[in-house]
Structure 1
Amino acid sequence: MSLLPWRLHGNGLSVAPDSIVLPEERLAWPVTIGIGAQHVVAMFGATFLVPLLTGFPPSTTLLFSGIGTILFLLITRNRVPSYLGSSFAFIAPITASTQADSPGAALGGVLVIGILLALLGLLVQAVGTRWIGMLMPPVVMGSIVALIGFNLAPTAYLNFQKSPVTAVITLLAVVLCTAVFRGLLGRVSVLLGVVIGYVVAVARGEVDFTAFHEASLFGLPEFTHPTLNLVLLPMFLPVILVLLAENVGHVTSVGLMTGRNLDHMVGRTLFSDGLATAVSATFGGSPTTTYGENIGVMSATRVFSTAAYWVAGIVAILLSLSPKIGALINTIPPGVLGGVTFVLYGLIGIVGVRMWVDARVDFSRPKNQITAGVALVVGIANVTWTFDGITLTGIALGTIAALVVYHLMAQIGRLTGTDVPEEPAEAVDPAGRAGH
């Protein structure tokens, strides 16, 4: 398949009720550009929140988000539609690394994980994906994703406390926008909540526009470079498992909605995501991952054309070339962040719970109960263990606990004949899968 151009779908202006626009197809360019703009809006809220929460430059993140998306499309040969936005899975280790050392050390951790994920992609491409399910059955995978979200709860509360009134209004705005709106507006309810909270913060005198007024309208983003601190790397390693789950989930979702088996593309998506993350970290941008928000747009529009994602990537790059946009994003005060992260961090946790539900994990089984229970408590309590100068935090220890407890109990069960294999879960509706 050639990268360009795409085959025109029908008359190029509409999609029949019983039809979809395939990845190798496109609508007329004005319509394609409009759909690409929807993808930009869908990803924007979550993508700019990650640099705000980690201290990375928003414009740099936006630039490498666009570049990463284009790299992804090139490497997957336009067969897997996806936007690579900022990954929330990295927030906890980035925050801890910045506090323990510096932002450069945090970028170093992100860079190493990006390289490892790319290498994992090459391995998956060579040997297939069956081993992933054996290593991380749904109860383990769901536990790891859930504990990352819940581990971040204290960070959300710290921002919440700085301006409780603004935080509560922002939180309520997100809730109400999600409940009232449908379609695209419903999918960007977090962004709408941030806008409403921001207006309230401005009215309350909580926003400082000095940096915005001083910033240039056009210019290159701020570039910084990583440093390597091997002591901090263990905090980042569990994130690989989350990125693995997100990429497999994304490929599965797209495959189900387009009626294609795309399992053979998992290796390429992992390699692409890892490469995009490594490139972004090299210049000071946030790590990347496939985005569930954009899965929602595809589900709503029935347009899976990768041409729309090329548009989205190019638009993100162009937006990043205005320092004023980055400066404006940086003016968002702690109260607004506190309100919105109550929702976002909770949703990360619930994505893990949904993995259990979708896979029909049987929690009457002791091995599932204890695996999830121990992992969540370790993660939420942020249990910390330091030895030989290396510190393992709640996310790393919770991940280890989930893997060790499950496989230990499963092995003992097989040896004693008390463990009966579980029935595989049926396919589930992928439209609401989260991707970050």
Structure 2
Amino acid sequence: MRQKASNAIYDVQERPPFWTWFGLSLQHLFSMFGATVLVPLLVGLNPGVALFTSGVGTLLHLLITRGRIPAYMGSSFAFIIPMASLMKTIGYPAVAQGIISVGVVYLLVALLVTVTGTKWINQIFPPEVVGPIIMVIGLSLAGSAASSATMLNNHYDIRVFLVALVTLLATIGFNMFLSGFWGLMPVLLGIIFGYIVALIVGLVDLQPVINAQWFALPNFESFMDKDGFKFYPAAVLSMAPLALVTLSEHLGHLMVLNKITGHDFFENPGLKRTLTGDGTASVVAGLIGGPAVTSYGENIGVMQLSRVYSVWVIGGAAFFAVIFGFVGKLSALISTIPGAVTGGVGFMLYGVIAAAGLQVIVDNKVDYSRKRNLMIAAPILVVGIGNFHLQLGSQMDFSGVAIATVLGIILNICLPRVAASEKED
């Protein structure tokens, strides 16, 4: 039996009372909604299908990992460029094959992990590497949050700034001064408060809610052409290699979850199961018209703030995502949450992820007077936060987070334990 995380209000296997569960699940839904529906809008896919596949993918992930890891699967940004290109030049069948190939890469890596085990993880990811990488995962999103919190239609708008600031301060206040039932949901309350302020200052357009139907069947797509199946190797070659990007994010998110929950998910349920869950979720998404999916940092941030790690809550958010995919007015209402609000909350969510990385460094007493530790941390932080990315052609773009992760692994393996100048001392 697992030992309960010392700081958990509801640990991984614990089920909150119904109304608490309902509110906490909505909190996770609202936190991931904006990013999950933004990807299909940028690519040209149906947002309702993306919402549906994020919920189904999360439920499948929970099933495959035996309900032992609280991870929400949302639309991945790593594949936007090739998906958009394929949609314009060929159509969804090509996109679908690319997405399915991404899932297959995950499944193949899961098979490799089954054979090799996970002992290598601790060797290539010691605290001096893990801490900076976790910090990068949070801080690399700071620019996106700042842009959402200041810009409207690519122009600076003081109303957006003020709403974002009010949302941030409200979220901090709710987190610090509320207790009991309401104290568990500072992010949800912050979003609601910010939304009301945004509505007052004219940043919310309710016309989409008025125009939306109560029941709207998502526009499911097929990986088959009208004339039958046709294989698109270019789609597979342009998307499958990018799975390396999301694989590094997958490892990073697991490390964050390990830290904040106090559990070792590499061992239980095991990396092979988490990879299989991710891969299966993307395969299913590709089969019915959704984008590739990946675990979401926004939801990890919510868990860090609320100290609620329950898979029942994550499953509840997934359930509501599936239902809301069919309820047009509810989906439209959530989609009207302006970037000022999500950006304001993002300052908190992304920051707490970075703070978890800092805590790894502090708890393990990583000594930065040692040159080796400094030479590992410094490039990881700057490369990742600055998004020093590798672009190969027009469709393959390896993010700064991915490059920073690989760089950290290489430096940890190659650098000597003690610098030559330190030996002289």
Q: TM-score range by the shorter chain?
A: 0.7 to 0.9
Q: Tell me the equivalent position of 1:428.
A: none
One-letter amino acid of the counterpart of residue 46, structure 1: S
Aligned counterpart for 1:130 among listed residues 119, 135, 139: 119
- Structure 2 equivalent of residue 51 of structure 1: 36
Which amino acid is 1:50 matched to? A
Aligned to 1:147: 136
> Are the aligned partners of 1:118 and 1:275 in contact in 2 as well (CA < 8 Å)?
yes
Pick closer, same or farther for the CA change 1:286–1:169 going to 2, 3 Å: farther
Tell me the residue number matched to 1:41. 26
Q: Within 5 Å, give how 1:66-145 maps onto structure 2.
A: 66-78=55-67, 80=68, 82=70, 84-86=72-74, 90-91=76-77, 93=78, 112-145=101-134
Cα offset for 1:408? 1.7
1:150-184 deviation line (CA, Å, top 9, x unaligned): 22322222222222122221222222222222355
Letter in 2 for 1:213: I
**Quick one: which amino acid aligns to residue 362 of structure 2?**
V
Q: Counterparts in 2 of 1:10-29, with a 5 A limit?
A: 23=13
- TM-score when scaled to structure 2? 0.73
Q: Of 200, 205, 223, which residue of structure 2 is paired with 1:208? A: 205
Structure-1 residue corresponding to 2:183: 186
- One-letter code of the match for 1:130? K
What is the TM-score with the length of structure 1 in the denominator? 0.71
CA 1:255–1:315 in structure 2 vs 1: closer, same or farther (change >3 Å)? same
**In the alignment, is residue 330 of structure 1 matched against residue 335 of structure 2?**
yes
Residues 141 and 38 from structure 1, CA distance in 2 versus in 1: closer, same or farther, beyond 3 angstroms? same
**Aligned partners of 2:173, 2:322: CA distance in 1, in Å?**
32
Structure 1 segments unaligned to the other structure (5+ residues) = 1-19, 420-436
Q: Is the 8 A contact 2:129 2:408 kept in 1?
A: yes
| Superposed displacement of residue 209, structure 1 | 1.5
Shift of 1:379: 2.0
The 5 Å alignment of 1:239-318 reads 239-247=246-254, 250=257, 256=263, 263=268, 265-280=270-285, 282=287, 283-285=289-291, 287-289=293-295, 292=300, 313-318=318-323
Q: Is the 8 A contact 2:33 2:335 kept in 1?
A: no
The answer on 1:321 being equivalent to 2:310 is no
- Is residue 401 of structure 1 aligned with residue 373 of structure 2? no
TM-superposed deviation, 1:215: 0.9
Aligned partner letter, 1:64: T
Within 2, Cα distance between the matches of 1:234 and 1:312? Answer: 30
Percent of paired sites with the same residue: 28
Q: What is the match of residue 345 of structure 2?
A: 340
CA gap of 1:86–1:161, structure 2 versus 1, over 3 A, is same
CA RMSD in angstroms comes to 4.2
Instruction: Please list every run of 5 or more consecutive structure 2 residues that lacks an aligned counterpart in the other structure.
Output: 1-9, 152-159, 224-233
Q: Does 1:380 align with 2:377?
A: no
Partner amino acid, structure 2, of 1:351: A
Moved more, 118-127 or 132-141: 118-127
Larger RCO (alpha carbons 8 Å, 6+ apart)? 2
Match of 2:148? 159
**Change in 2 beyond 3 A, CA 1:167/1:32:** closer
Cα drift, residue 208 of structure 1:
1.3
**Shift in Å at residue 130 of structure 1?**
0.8
C-alpha change, 1:254 and 1:152, in structure 2 (3 Å) is closer
What's the CA shift string for 1:98-138, capped at 9, x where partnerless? 78887979988765554333333333333322111122223
Question: Following TM superposition, by how much is the alpha carbon of 1:47 offset from its aligned partner in structure 2, in angstroms?
Answer: 1.9
The one-letter code of the counterpart of 1:239 is T
Question: What is the distance in 2 between the residues matched to 1:58 and 1:178?
Answer: 31
Structure 1 residue 370 displacement after superposition: 1.5
**1:41 offset after TM fit, Å?**
2.6
Q: 1:98 to 1:369 in 2, by over 3 A?
A: farther
Aligned residue in 2 for 1:370: 375
For 1:382, what is the secondary structure of its paired residue? coil
Query: In structure 2, do the counterparts of structure 1 residues 137 and 74 end up closer, same or farther at CA, with 3 Å as the change threshold?
Result: same
- Equivalent residue of 1:328, what SS? helix
Counterpart secondary structure, 1:237 = helix
Aligned to 1:431: none
For residue 171 of structure 1, the aligned residue among 156, 160, 168 is 168
